[in-house]
Chain A
């Protein structure tokens, strides 16, 4: 191996270790945040005893889960039962590999270790674990894989409520996968690339995509809520009716792994919202676009974390506000609203872009603002329709007594 390759492997493995370590830390923090925000919304204080402000509560919970007994129900399919938590956990972690989380970090070293030999690294390290040229497709593929863990867990438990939870999650995630993909197609249209670092740099050079693609963002948030099984779409778990759904029969660390997977997916989805629509690690202004430096990397990392946790907070806020949908409402929202309207939006947006291109406009801030104007009109129409129940057809038919 050349010294450069060794340096690359060293940097890459350290980066992966740090990122996943921090991701676990963030998951622990989010479980704490969820409980605290829930408490605040209910005019309570929440867990504040273990450590400063209760911050060590997740550690205590983790320890408790480690020492608890692991139960396998007699009716369970043992192999799948043990495999399922890992199958749910791994995809939600893998997703984070393609998300750029800071500006490139300059790193130069040249040293020699006994036995291992010489390590050399020059230039900037991209602050992303794997800058896959198919980043976007990887996200869609991996987030679909997570459904297998949940379905297997529901089926292998040998419990009818778990099975119902698994079935619901299967139907829900498969349906909203399409809406999620459709809501990201406008991003591809505008960015012209599926590589996430490119999507971020396009936003850096013009406007954050929240402006030219507002409607897509709304769709993305709705389908991300459904993909993550969060309220108001938490039918696979539905503790009120399915006693926890697919993870009813799980105890101790196997349950904790489902928990980690769920919150990992939550953080990843929030990070994706920040990346696709809020400029990723971009700070408004130009000063973060010059030469790579440690200061810029750190500042952009902080901004990225801030954006991500803002969306995590929104998730929690929504969870403790909205009640759960009925299953047929969930399905009709996914198939009868998000799918056709999403398709329509893609077509309208593509037509608008074609029109702008024909008029000879170059991609840039003005182009983005023109798209924003189109989006405002569309958003107004969409909300006008939603507000008057014109889009939820079942409801409209019911009101007219035709259903």
Chain B
């Protein structure tokens, strides 16, 4: 026996192989016939005791006004705060002096989904979405332009509320 190994004296029912083996077999058999926890994903997207949180930060969505134009006023706060530097914004201005984005692109590959863009946006225009099914066949398709951001319909994230930190 190796040096310094302390052998604990245990009562015999605790070191019995046979009883432990039979107990183990009984436990696994109970689990064999017990109801299963698996959620069959493409068919089931939420279960009785689990659904996706409304704080989920997924791919972006740009909200629009009544005329279907993006609410964005091209203030430049979101590219400024973006820690991943994934938002490309080129501002433009029309005859009445309304600012609007000429180019608004988000590279979802670079995005870290921190949600700062939504928090900083004064017009409540750009949002992160409660959405996770964003597979594409082409890398280029992961740069979402303004048209695509406006066309998204999924719900937007409620983000973390400091007044209600646990989401109650």
User: Are B9 and A399 closer than 8 Å at their CB atoms?
Assistant: yes
**Which residues of chain A are within 8 angstroms of B27 by Cβ–Cβ distance?**
321
Q: Tally chain B residues at the interface, Cβ within 8 Å.
A: 24
User: Are B36 and A40 closer than 8 Å at their CB atoms?
Assistant: yes
CB within 8 A of B24: which of A321, A387, A401? A321
- Cα(A320)–Cα(B19), bound, Å: 17
B28 CB within 8 Å of chain A:
yes
A9 CB within 8 Å of chain B:
no
B-contact 0/1 string along A391-403, CB 8 Å cutoff: 0100100110101
**Which residues of chain A are within 8 angstroms of B17 by Cβ–Cβ distance?**
386-387, 389, 392
User: Are A398 and B32 closer than 8 Å at their CB atoms?
Assistant: no
Q: Tally chain A residues at the interface, Cβ within 8 Å.
A: 24
**Which residues of chain B are within 8 angstroms of A37 by Cβ–Cβ distance?**
32
In the assembled complex, the CB of A393 is this many whole angstroms from the nearest CB of chain B, namely 14
- Cα(A317)–Cα(B40), bound, Å: 24
**Which residues of chain A are within 8 angstroms of B37 by Cβ–Cβ distance?**
43-44
In the assembled complex, the CB of A157 is this many whole angstroms from the nearest CB of chain B, namely 32
- Cα(A331)–Cα(B16), bound, Å: 19
**Which residues of chain A are within 8 angstroms of B28 by Cβ–Cβ distance?**
41, 317, 320-321
A366 CB within 8 Å of chain B:
no
In the assembled complex, the CB of A224 is this many whole angstroms from the nearest CB of chain B, namely 16
In the assembled complex, the CB of B1 is this many whole angstroms from the nearest CB of chain A, namely 6
B12 CB within 8 Å of chain A:
yes
In chain B between 1 and 30, which residues have their CB closer than 8 angstroms to a CB of chain A?
1, 7, 9, 12, 15-19, 21, 24-25, 27-29
A68 CB within 8 Å of chain B:
no
- Cα(A387)–Cα(B19), bound, Å: 7
User: Are B16 and A42 closer than 8 Å at their CB atoms?
Assistant: no
CB within 8 A of A43: which of B7, B12, B31? B31
A66 CB within 8 Å of chain B:
no
**Closest B residue, CB atoms, query A395:** B15
Q: Top 3 A-B pairs ranked by shortest CB distance? A: A45-B38, A321-B28, A387-B18
